[in-house]
Amino acid sequence: MSVALITAGSAGLGAAASRVFAKNGYRVIVNYASNEERANKLLEELPPLSTLPRDSGSEHFAVIKADLGSRDDINRLIKETVDRFGRLDVVFSNGGWTRFRGMESIDDNTHEEEWDRAFNMNVKSHLWLMQAAKKHLDETEGAFITTASIAGVVSSGSSLAYSATKAAQIHLMKGLAIMAAPKIRVNTVSPGLLLTEWGNRFSDEQKEGHLQKTKLKRYVTVEDVAEQVLTFAKSKSTTGVNVVMDSGFIL
């Protein structure tokens, strides 16, 4: 039975992906950073959604606390996942970080510690996770999928550091797809504004402005993006691809 690890998996897109993978017969490890109560609440939701045999109950699902900003924690996360379930088929590397600075002022966007943290979380964490998971994904001919952003495709989003590091993440994915071939597929999704806890930090005016710039006049949903992640996990013929899911925002 295939195993999927969902990082930053207890809320928003990560939680939606956890549910989608559970519904499609995967055993799921949900990684979380600090909110244990929220992670355990999600864990309770997954067994009833699953198509796997019910006799082993919650043994198909688990939560693991790990800080994606720590390389040691990332290595431990992979080890505990494989120790628990014996294999690893899919890694959805969904972690990221930003601080809201806007895209208007250079001075507001030149805080060195914020650039360092953004690069660590939005680029390096995915690299360390892929390195730690590679030998296990090689064995299963698995998939590694990351969450980028349309801010990495066009200059936009919460800050210049976020936009630049998401662009770097998309480029990283292409390099990893080459290095991980021929056994592992590496792809990424770049959503537009998602109305998650993170997305709702934008003002109502900013959210409405984003909506009006979309050609479909609708927000992207976490469920739609989660389904695309599942498609990447299942496809044996797709690698090195960044799928933009933005309701036509950048057209």
Residues catalogued as catalytic? 162
Sheet order of strands, 143-147 included: 61-65, 27-32, 3-6, 90-93, 143-147, 185-191, 242-245
* Distances from the Cα of 106 to the Cα of 34, 101, 109, 159, 168, angstroms: 32, 10, 5, 10, 20
